[in-house]
Amino acid sequence: MARNLTILTAAELDIIEAYDWYEGRELGLGAEFLRCIDACLNLI
C-alpha cells in the first residue's frame, strides 16, 4: 500500500543546512548525504 510522506519545512531546512555543512567539508559529500536521506525516506 503506497502512502504519502510529508516533510516539514523545518526538516527541509535542516537537510539543506546539513548538505551545506557536509559539502563544505568535502566536495561531493553533501550529495552523498542527500543520497542517504533519500534511501532512508524510501525505507519508511
Q: What pLDDT is recorded for position 2? A: 79
Q: Tell me if 20 sits within 8 A of 30, measured CB to CB.
A: yes
pLDDT of residue 34: 98
Range of the domain at 19: 9-43
Question: What distance in Å separates the CA atoms of residue 10 and residue 19, rounded to the nearest whole number?
Answer: 14
Burial of residue 38 (CB within 10 Å: 0-12, 13-18, 19+) is exposed
Tell me, what's the pLDDT at 44?
87
- Per the domain annotation, does 4 fall within a domain? no
* Count of the separate structural domains present in the chain: 1
1, part of any domain: no
| 2 within a domain of the structure (yes/no) | no
Domain assignment present for residue 15? The answer is yes
pLDDT tens per residue, range 1-44: 778 999 999 999 999 999 999 999 999 999 999 999 999 999 98
Please report the pLDDT score of residue 3 as a whole number: 84
pTM of this structure:
0.85
In a domain, residue 18? The reply is yes
